Structure 1
Amino acid sequence: MSTLNLQNITTTVNVGTSEEKKILKNINLNLEDGDFVTLLGTNGAGKSTLLNIINGSLFPTSGKVLLDNQDITHLSEVKRAKYISQVFQDPKMGTAPRMTVAENLLLATQRGQKRRLRLRGLEKHLNELKKETAQLPNGLSDRLNTFVGSLSGGQRQTLSFLMATIKKPKLLLLDEHTAALDPNTSHQLLELTNKTVTQQHLTCIMITHQLKDALKYGNRIIILNNGKIVLDVKNSEKEKLTEDDILQYFSD
């Protein structure tokens, strides 16, 4: 079953000026249920723009975005948040620093619902939230009552990831979500990502600049170059790829 379908997506910025530029050029992409895509490309290739088109923070100049065969091309980012979760590169994004870890998690369970001025029933959810965080790295289960602004970058990014997946999304977008972390913390979060995406059978796109990670994780690899998809392989074809194979797609 198709989860995401992009049809002839083109994105042009600074239209009608001397700075006019096409970022995405006639992108066609179909993600099946459970696809875990690692997305590669040079700086400026259009990776983050592609995710922004999908999450609704940017509308395409032309083309359509379908989710579960429903046209969401002009649906707002807020309305898409009911179905689409995203973790950003910056650990400070995606969490509320003046709320506790538990409050942030409880807020995440209400994604897509009408927001209340006050979170209710926090105490009765603490045991459940402690179980959710018990298997996570960085000791988050012992910091449920800690304000998020006091957490380390790794703890905060792990929390962001749990918030994005605590209520199973139709689509999970990861925009270099480990890039700002130290190597050990990055590895822990990538392993958690792989475990969660696999066990929950999530459909996921993960942007990375690390060739080893792109080859190790996921069942499918896509490479963007100059706004176009230049490689899209999955399963056994992906397993045959080497770093040298990938590098040839990064030339102009």
Structure 2
Amino acid sequence: MTEPVFSLKDIIVTVGDNIQILKSLNLDIYEGDFITVLGTNGAGKSTLFNTIAGNLSIDSGQLLHHGHSIAHDSAVTRTNYIARVFQDPKMGTAPRMTVAENLLLAEKRGQKRTLRNRGLTKEKLNEYAKITQVMGNNLDTRLNTATGNLSGGQRQALSFLMATRVKPELLLLDEHTAALDPKTSEQLMLATNEQVTKNQLTALMITHNLADALKYGNRLIILNAGDIVLDVRGQNKSDLNEADILKYFIA
């Protein structure tokens, strides 16, 4: 197996009144991994994402990117190689900008962001029509619509497209379908899987949907009380069923 893209080694994170959330957690993330992340409320899932993204500092341990420590890199610096889609469709997009303008802005990740002259040529709009069409929710017909006027599903689809417009080294999907109705959630999940697989993205996806956790991805991890209690991939993951998973949720 090749060297991991990201490594978390003996990570300890405390919050608030000295409450330890992550407890000597270890995780290696390899290029092309699509890891579904399960765990009860308070298990440390969001803390794990916030730690990787730079929104929380570690108390001890090592957080490595290609073997180099990023523990002191700011969250802004980490956006050069980490992208995130949040549960709330309102996060990750600029509501007063159009769909096309948001996509143009996303192309500036890692660069000085400017929309001088907008840059929205006919060719660019045709390009955006093609990439939004794959989401299957008529987003391609709303390129000139202010993002704040989109449906929740369309806005979340746009957030996903923005996060992957410039291929990140790691994509964090933070319960990105949880706030949507079942039909829209399933539609976005299918589109997500297609794009992650087609573009060989490296991704972690928090979900509370056991069926999705088993169906999607090549790897599954379960957190409990701030540590990883199960980490399976390939055939070992395929052999799991919901009953196997539920055993880890029994107090």
TM-score range, shorter chain: over 0.9
Q: Which residue of 1 aligns with 2:86?
A: 88
Q: Distance in 2 between matches of 1:119 and 1:248?
A: 57
Q: Is the 8 A contact 1:3 1:203 kept in 2?
A: no
- Residue 33 of structure 2 is matched in structure 1 by 35
Match of residue 165 from structure 2: 166
Match runs of 1:181-200 below 5 Å: 181-200=180-199
Asked if 1 retains the 8 angstrom alpha-carbon contact of 2:133 and 2:140, the reply is: yes
Paired position in structure 2 for 1:50: 48
Q: Which residue of 2 aligns with 1:144?
A: 143
Structure 1: gaps spanning 5 or more residues:
none
* Cα distance in 2, alignment partners of residues 70 and 103 from structure 1: 35
Percent identity between the aligned chains?
62
| Runs ≥4 residues deviating over 4 A | none
SS where residue 137 of structure 1 aligns? coil
Give the counterpart of 1:74 among 72, 82, 95: 72
Distance (Å, rounded) in 2 between the aligned partners of 1:119 and 1:61: 45
TM-score (norm 1): 0.96
Corresponding residue for residue 99 of structure 1 = 97
Residue identity matched to 1:203: T
C-alpha displacement of 1:118? 3.5
Residue range with higher mean Cα deviation, 57-66 or 172-181: 57-66
Relative to 1, partners in 2 of residues 1:42 and 1:115: Cα closer, same or farther, differing over 3 Å?
Answer: same
**Is the aligned partner of 1:228 residue 2:230?**
no
- Contact 2:23/2:227 (CA < 8 Å) preserved in 1? yes
Question: Of residues 108, 112, 115 in structure 1, which corresponds to 2:113?
Answer: 115
Q: Structure 2: how far apart are the matches of 1:177 and 1:119?
A: 32
Offset at 1:117? 5.9
Give the superposition deviation at 1:119.
Answer: 5.6
Q: Distance in 2 between matches of 1:182 and 1:129?
A: 26
Distance in 2 separating the partners of 1:38 and 1:11: 21
Which ranges in structure 2 are unaligned for 5 or more consecutive residues? none
Alpha-carbon RMSD: 1.1
Greater alpha carbon shift after TM alignment, 60-69 vs 175-184 = 60-69
Across the two proteins, how many residue pairs are aligned to each other?
Answer: 248
What is the CA–CA distance in structure 1 between the aligned matches of 2:241 and 2:152, rounded to whole Å? 32
Where 2:22 maps in the other structure, the secondary structure is strand
The one-letter code sitting in structure 2 at the alignment partner of 1:172 is: L
Question: Which residue is equivalent to 2:15?
Answer: 13
**Which amino acid in 1 is paired with 2:188?**
L
Q: Distance in 2 between matches of 1:61 and 1:231?
A: 24
Alignment correspondent of 2:6? 4
